[in-house]
Structure 1
Amino acid sequence: MQIYKVGGAVRDRLLGIPVTDIDWVVVGATTEEMLAKGFRPVGADFPVFLHPKSGEEYALARTERKSGRGYGGFTFHASPEVTLEEDLIRRDLTINAMAEDDQQNLTDPYHGQQDLEDRLLRHVSPAFAEDPLRVLRVARFAARYAGLGFTVAPQTLELMRQLADSGELQALTAERSWKEISRALMEDQPQIFIEVLRECGALKVLMPEVDALFGVPQPEAHHPEIDTGVHTLSVLQQCALHKLPLAVRWACLLHDLGKGLTPTEEWPRHIAHEHTGLKLIKAVNERFKAPKDCQELALLVGQYHTHGHRALELKPSTLLELLQSFDVYRRPQRFEEFIAACEMDARGRKGLEQRSYPQADYLRGAAAAARGVAVQPLLEQGFKGPELGEAIKRERLKALKAYKETASI
C-alpha cells in the first residue's frame, strides 16, 4: 500500500499559496485492507474512505470509462493493480494531475509542473472531452488563477468548444452546475469565468440570456463601455473587489437580462427592461435551482435597481413601496444586499469605478426612518387588524416625508 497526496494540495503548494483541502490516493490496496485499518467508507460509486483520525478523504486508485451522458455517465474500476499514473491520467488538468509522497517527492507524468511555470490550464488527455462538467471547472480555475497570469491552453479551449457543441452540457444536473457556478462567482475574478464560457461557446448553451447581452448597446452618457455584456462583467468584477456575498454576485450577473430582449430599433435605450427581464431571471434561477436567497435577491434587484439609482428623486410614497417590497422591517440584510448590488451596478462602468454613490446612505436613512415608526402608540389608540396596517403605513409615509425634507436641506 502506497499513499500519495494528489490534486489541488500539490498544485497550490507548488504555487506557494495556502492549501485548504487535501486529497489522498491509495495505490495497491483493497477495500478490505482499508476497512481493517479503521477507514470509514463513504463512496457510493467508487471506494472513498475517511481517515479514522483526520477525517480526510482517501480514494483507492481507479480508472474510469465513459458509459453514458453527462457528469455521472462513467464506469469506475478500482483495484490494487491500478497504477498512480493510471489514476492521474483520468484527471482534468495537468496542474491537477500531480502527486507527492510523504517525502514530497513529486510524481508528474503529464508535465503539470511545467504548465504551472508556463501559467497554462491544459487538459491531461483527450478523455477530458468525455466529462461536460470540466468546461465549468476549467472556466472556474481560469477565474481563480487569472491574477497569477493563467490562461486556458488553445487545445483545451478547442475541446471545451467541442463539448459545448455536442449537447453534453444539457446532461449536467442543476445541482452540479450550480456548485461550479457558485464557486466560480466567489473567485477573485468571476468575470473571467463568464468570459471563458463565452469564448468556448458554453455560455450560449448554459445561460443564453447572459450571452445575449454581448453586442447590445446602452446610452454612452450613462455607460461609457456601451456594451451591456461588458458592463455585466465589470459589475461582477466590482462585486469581487468589494468582497460581496454570493447572492449579490448572482443578482448582479442577472440584473440587466431584460436588455437582451429590447428590439434593435429601440437601441440604445431599454425602456422597462427591469420588468421584461423578470421572466428571464426567473428562468435562470429555476434552471440552476439557485438557493432561495439568491433567487429572491436576483428578482428584486432586477426589478428595482433603477429605483436604487434614482433614490434621491423618488417620491416618499414610491420610497415606501420600495421598502415594503424588500420587507426591510423583518429582513434588513436583504435591503443592504440590494443597496450593494445597485452600487456595484453604478461602479461597473468604464472610468466610473471610483464614483461616489450617495444613494446608498440615503436609502439606509430612509429604511431607518420607516423602521423607527413605533407601533405601540397606534395600538393604544385602538387600531387593530387592517386598520392598524393602514395606520402604520400612514405614519411611515409621514416619517419618509420628514426624512426627505431633512435629507435635501
Structure 2
Amino acid sequence: MKIYLVGGSIRDRLLGFPVHDRDWVVVGSTPEKMLKKKYQQVGRDFPVFIHPKTHEEYALARTEKKHGFGYTGFLFNFSPKITLKDDLIRRDLTINAMAQDNYGNIIDFFNGKRDLKKRVLRHVSSSFQEDPLRVLRVARFAATLSHLGFYIAKKTLFLMKLICMRKELLYLTPERVWNETKKGLCSRNPHIYFQVLHSCNALIYLFPEISFFYKKSFLCHFFMNQKNFLRYSFFELSRVSRVTNNLDIRFAYFLQFISQIYSISKLNIKNYFFYEKPVLLVKSLCRRLKVPKETQKIAIFLCGFHNFLQMIELQSSELIVNFFNIIDAWRKPDRLNKLIYLNFYYKDDLKNLKKNITLGKLLKSMFSIIKNISINSFVNKNLFKGIEIKNELYRLRVKALNIWRNK
C-alpha cells in the first residue's frame, strides 16, 4: 500500500498559496484493509475514508467510466490494481493532477508544473468532457487565478463548449451549481467566472436570467443607444470584490443592474420606488438555485430599489423612511451595512449631488438621523396605542429627516 498527496494542495504550494486542505490517494489497498487500520468510510459504496487522527480524506485510487448523463452517471473501479497514473488521468486539469510521495518528490505525468509556469488551464484527457461540473470548475479556477495571468487552453474551451452543446449542464443539481457559483463569487475576480461561462455558452443552461440580461443589454446598447449596463454590472462586481469578501454584497451588487433592461413608463411612477418586473428574474434565479434566504433578500432589495436609490436626492422623506422600514433596518442593521459600498452610477443625471459622496454613505447618514427615534421620543406615551404608535413613529422620523435634509 502506497499513499500520495494529490491535487490542489500541491498546486497551491507551487504557486506560493497557503495550503488549507490536503487530499490523499491510496494505491494498492482495499476497503477492508482501510477499515482494519481504523479509517472511517465516508460512504458505503464510495472508496473515500477519513484518517483516524488527522481527519483528512484518503481515497482509494480509482478509475471512472461514463454510464449515463450528468456528473453522477459513472461506474467506479477501485481495485488494488489501479495505478497512481490511472487515478490521476481522470482529474480535470493538469495543474490538479500532480502527486507527491512520502519523500516530497513531485510525480507529474501530465506536465502540470509546466502548465503552472505557462499559466494555462488545460484538461488532462478527453475524459474531461464526461463531467459537466468541470465547466463550472474551470470557470472558477479562471476567476481565482486570472490575476496571475492564467488562461484557458483553446482545446479545453472547445471541450467546455461541447459539454454545453450536448446540454449535459441540465443534469446538474441546483445545489451543485450554487456551490460552485458561491466559490466563484468569493474568488479574487468573480466577474471572470460569469464571463467564462458566457464564452462557452453555459449561461443559457445554468443562468438563463443572466443570459437574458446579456442579450438585452447588448440590444439596448447597440440598437437603442443606451448605456451598456452589462459593463456596469461587471465593473461593479469587480470593484466591490476589491473591498469586501461578503457573498451577499457581491451577488446583489452584480444583479442590481438587471433593473435597467426594462424601461419604466413615466405614467407608472410607483415603479420608481420598487420595480417588480426585473425582480421576477432575480427571484427566479434564486429560487431555482436554492440561494440562501438572506442572500436572496439583499439581491431583491438592490434590484427592485435600484432606480429609487439612484435618484434618492429627489425622493420624498416619506418614501425614504418607507424604504428603511421595508428592509427592516432597525431590527437588521447589518442589511444597511451591506449597502455602504453603493455608488451613484449615473452622476450625469444628478445635478445637485455633492462631490465625493457615495450612495452608501448618504444612506447611512440618513438612517443615523432617525434610527434612535423610538417610543421614548414621544412627549406623552399614553396618548398612543396600537397602530397609533407606529404612525407616530413614522411621523417623527419623516419630520426629523426633513429637517436634516433642508439644512
- How big is the shift at 1:43? 2.9
Alignment of 1:40-55 (within 5 A): 40-55=40-55
Alignment of 1:379-398 (within 5 A): 380-398=381-399
Alignment of 1:131-142 (within 5 A): 131-142=131-142
- How big is the shift at 1:49? 1.1
SS at match of 1:5: strand
- How big is the shift at 1:62? 0.9
Counterpart of 2:289, as a letter, is F
Show the counterpart of 1:143.
Answer: 143
- How big is the shift at 1:45? 4.3
Give the distance between the partners of 1:20 and 1:216, measured in 2 at CA. Answer: 45
SS at match of 2:302: helix
Show the counterpart of 2:230.
Answer: 229
Q: Does 1:154 align with 2:154?
A: yes
RMSD over aligned CA atoms reads: 2.4
Residue deviations 1:308-349 (CA, integer Å, cap 9, x gap): 222333211111111111111101111221342x339679xx
Show the counterpart of 1:314.
Answer: 315
- 8 A contact 2:257–2:306 mirrored in 1: no
SS at match of 1:47: strand
Show the counterpart of 1:350.
Answer: none
Show the counterpart of 2:268.
Answer: none
Give the distance between the partners of 1:189 and 1:385, measured in 2 at CA. Answer: 50
Alignment of 1:165-180 (within 5 A): 165-180=165-180
Q: Does 1:290 align with 2:278?
A: no
Residue deviations 1:74-104 (CA, integer Å, cap 9, x gap): 1222121111101111110011011001211
User: Residues 242 and 24 (structure 1 numbering): CA distance in 2 closer, same or farther, change over 3 Å?
Assistant: same
Q: Which ranges of structure 1 fall in alignment gaps of 5 or more residues?
A: 264-270, 348-354
- 8 A contact 2:143–2:190 mirrored in 1: yes
Q: What is the TM-score normalised by the length of structure 2? A: 0.90
SS at match of 1:212: helix
Counterpart of 2:76, as a letter, is F
Show the counterpart of 1:364.
Answer: 364
User: Residues 45 and 397 (structure 1 numbering): CA distance in 2 closer, same or farther, change over 3 Å?
Assistant: farther
Show the counterpart of 2:277.
Answer: 276
Q: Does 1:376 align with 2:376?
A: yes
Residue identity (%) = 39
Give the distance between the partners of 1:14 and 1:295, measured in 2 at CA. Answer: 38
Q: Does 1:336 align with 2:337?
A: yes
SS at match of 2:81: coil
- How big is the shift at 1:244? 4.0
- How big is the shift at 1:161? 0.4
Residue deviations 1:219-271 (CA, integer Å, cap 9, x gap): 9xx98xx42222211111012111241011111222122444559xxxxxxx9
Counterpart of 1:383, as a letter, is F
Q: Which ranges of structure 2 fall in alignment gaps of 5 or more residues?
A: 265-270, 348-354
User: Residues 261 and 156 (structure 1 numbering): CA distance in 2 closer, same or farther, change over 3 Å?
Assistant: farther
- 8 A contact 1:239–1:344 mirrored in 2: no
Show the counterpart of 1:186.
Answer: 186
Give the distance between the partners of 2:248 and 2:170, measured in 1 at CA. Answer: 24
Q: Does 1:22 align with 2:22?
A: yes
SS at match of 2:339: helix
- 8 A contact 1:62–1:87 mirrored in 2: yes
Give the distance between the partners of 2:176 and 2:44, measured in 1 at CA. Answer: 16
- How big is the shift at 1:140? 0.2
Counterpart of 2:197, as a letter, is L
Counterpart of 1:128, as a letter, is F
Counterpart of 1:333, as a letter, is D
Give the distance between the partners of 2:53 and 2:345, measured in 1 at CA. Answer: 48
Q: What is the TM-score normalised by the length of structure 1? A: 0.89
Give the distance between the partners of 1:150 and 1:19, measured in 2 at CA. Answer: 19
Please, which moves more after superposition, 174-183 or 310-319? 310-319
Please, which moves more after superposition, 63-72 or 179-188? 63-72
Residue deviations 1:173-209 (CA, integer Å, cap 9, x gap): 0000000001001111111111111111111221222
Alignment of 1:74-113 (within 5 A): 74-113=74-113
Give the distance between the partners of 1:191 and 1:389, measured in 2 at CA. Answer: 43
- How big is the shift at 1:44? 4.7
- 8 A contact 2:259–2:278 mirrored in 1: yes
- 8 A contact 2:177–2:206 mirrored in 1: no
- 8 A contact 1:71–1:132 mirrored in 2: yes
Give the distance between the partners of 1:256 and 1:244, measured in 2 at CA. Answer: 20
Counterpart of 2:185, as a letter, is L
User: Residues 386 and 262 (structure 1 numbering): CA distance in 2 closer, same or farther, change over 3 Å?
Assistant: closer
Alignment of 1:108-119 (within 5 A): 108-119=108-119
User: Residues 204 and 356 (structure 1 numbering): CA distance in 2 closer, same or farther, change over 3 Å?
Assistant: farther
- 8 A contact 1:252–1:345 mirrored in 2: no
Counterpart of 2:161, as a letter, is R
User: Residues 345 and 283 (structure 1 numbering): CA distance in 2 closer, same or farther, change over 3 Å?
Assistant: farther
- 8 A contact 2:344–2:359 mirrored in 1: no
Give the distance between the partners of 1:259 and 1:315, measured in 2 at CA. Answer: 22
Residue deviations 1:114-165 (CA, integer Å, cap 9, x gap): 1111111011111111111100000000000001110000000000001111
User: Residues 359 and 161 (structure 1 numbering): CA distance in 2 closer, same or farther, change over 3 Å?
Assistant: same
Alignment of 1:60-79 (within 5 A): 60-79=60-79
- 8 A contact 1:216–1:228 mirrored in 2: no
Counterpart of 2:66, as a letter, is K
Give the distance between the partners of 1:357 and 1:79, measured in 2 at CA. Answer: 65
Give the distance between the partners of 2:345 and 2:106, measured in 1 at CA. Answer: 46
- How big is the shift at 1:218? 5.4
- How big is the shift at 1:359? 2.7
